[in-house]
Amino acid sequence: MDYVDGFVLPVPKKKLAAYKKMSLLGKKVWLEHGALEYVECVADDVKPGKWTSFPQSVLLKRGEVVVFSWIRYKSRKSRDAVNKKAMADPRLAAFMDPKKMPFDGKRMYFGGFKVFVDT
């Protein structure tokens, strides 16, 4: 059964180019290590809600934008193996320091999901 890691995070608009650079490298690394799909999306139509919303979920600040991302795998077992390889990949070392990340990792949320409806 396919498995997906999903992410929602705030990115300062002035750091969006740096985030995209990091994402393009991440895409290359995850796909090389066995991920099936790697997608990064920048908010275009995500207004604050009355009770909940994407902006509220990440405590969006002025000058930031929400990024919604997912990585698809063959299974949870595959996800675990791919993530282990990707996180050990030396090409990503520069982005592992929280002070050098182009976003606030403390306001990112993420999780793993079993796919149960698909195209």
pLDDT value of position 98:
80
Q: What residues make up the domain containing 105?
A: 3-114
The Cα–Cα gap between 69 and 113 comes to 13
- Whether 65 is covered by a domain: the verdict is yes
Q: Tell me the per-residue pLDDT of 103-112, one tens digit each, with 9 for 90 and over.
A: 988 999 999 9
Establish if 119 belongs to a structural domain: no
| pTM for the full predicted model | 0.93
Count of structural domains, the chain: 1
67 beta partners: 9, 42
| pLDDT for position 100 | 81
Average pLDDT value for residue range 67-89: 97
In a domain, 35, yes or no: yes
Task: State the pLDDT at residue 112.
Answer: 98
Compute the C-alpha angle 86/57/42, nearest 5°: 60
Could you give the CA distance from residue 53 to residue 89 in angstroms, rounded to a whole number?
34
